[in-house]
Amino acid sequence: MEKKRIRVIIADEHSVFRAGLITVLKKIPIIEVVGEADNGETLIDKIGLLLPHIVITDIKMSNMDGITATKIITQRFPDVKVVCLSVLVKDDMILQMLEAGAIGYLTKSSNAEEIGEAILTVNEKKPYFCKIITERLTDIVTRNYQLPVNNETTFTDREIEIMRLICREFTSKEIAETLNLSKRTVEGHRTRIMDKIGAKSIAGIITFAVEQGIYQRQG
């Protein structure tokens, strides 16, 4: 039985770049590029019409930038996963994009194989960051990037378990199966964790858990 193809929309203000990326993705049989946009407003409109699984978007675009568009996509189309593909690797841009809801971040120096791998990974609801972005995020944590959290904030044992599994890139469904909970219960715990630490995304939970010693990266 043929696997369901992953529907993708590409948003970038440069038509030559979009055309090149489309050519690259067409070589991956499981991926289908269903649309393209040159700005955030057009991207939002096309998502409603074309119902993609994944959006690949730059940050700098006219009319509406990628960060603003990602915030709207996350709220209006929660099942659509967003991957940022940009030349920008500044800390504030990375954090703003992840806090807006993107679960993948690549630079435009990424090769075709990595872009394809990112799409396949994100389609499984797992985050994907290229090496440069992973290094930047690690540096941010090392320099004690602080989320606005009350020093008296406490967590239940269950919340700590869930934070650690989130850091190991488990999806809500996988966490539910591991802890013998319903998916809805897991999502409720995740929401309470985000409220407690002032995070706006999964990336915020991971950053907090690492810097507070709740989770230690392996290797």
Whether 137 and 165 share a structural domain: no
Residue 32 lies in a domain: yes
Transcribe 49-118 into DSSP letters. HH--SEEEE-S--BSS-HHHHHHHHHHH-TT-EEEEEES---HHHHHHHHHHT--EEEETT--HHHHHHH
Say which residues have a Cβ less than 8 Å from residue 16's Cβ, sequence separation at least 6: none
Domain of 161 in residue numbering reads as: 157-211
Whether 92 and 165 share a structural domain: no
Question: Under DSSP, is residue 159 helix (H, G, I), strand (E, B) or coil?
Answer: helix
- The identity of residue 76, as a single letter, is R
DSSP 151: T
Residue 151 lies in a domain: no
Residue 83 lies in a domain: yes
Q: pLDDT tens digit string along 117-166?
A: 999 989 988 888 888 888 777 776 656 445 455 556 788 889 999 999 98
Whether 167 and 67 share a structural domain: no
Whether 133 and 185 share a structural domain: no
Whether 182 and 125 share a structural domain: no
Whether 130 and 191 share a structural domain: no
CA–CA dist 64, 101 (Å, integer): 16
CATH number for the domain including 115? Answer: 3.40.50.2300
End residue of a domain, out of 141, 176, 203: 141
Residue among 94, 113, 96 at smallest CA distance from 105: 94
CATH number for the domain including 170? Answer: 1.10.10.10
Q: What's the number of domains the chain is made of?
A: 2
Residue 184: both structure tokens together: 């809805």
End residue of a domain, out of 81, 113, 141: 141
Residue 79 lies in a domain: yes
End residue of a domain, out of 83, 116, 141: 141
Whether 124 and 168 share a structural domain: no
Whether 137 and 174 share a structural domain: no
**pLDDT tens-digit profile, the chain (219 residues):** 457 899 999 999 999 999 999 999 999 999 999 999 999 999 999 999 999 999 999 999 988 999 999 999 999 999 999 999 999 888 888 888 988 999 999 999 889 889 999 999 899 888 888 888 887 777 766 564 454 555 567 888 899 999 999 888 888 888 999 999 888 888 889 888 988 888 877 878 888 888 788 887 654
Residue 102 lies in a domain: yes
- Confirm if 21 and 119 have CB atoms less than 8 A apart: no
Whether 112 and 162 share a structural domain: no
The sheet with strand 104-107 has its strands ordered as 31-37, 6-11, 54-57, 81-86, 104-107, 128-129
Residue 218 lies in a domain: no
Whether 51 and 102 share a structural domain: yes
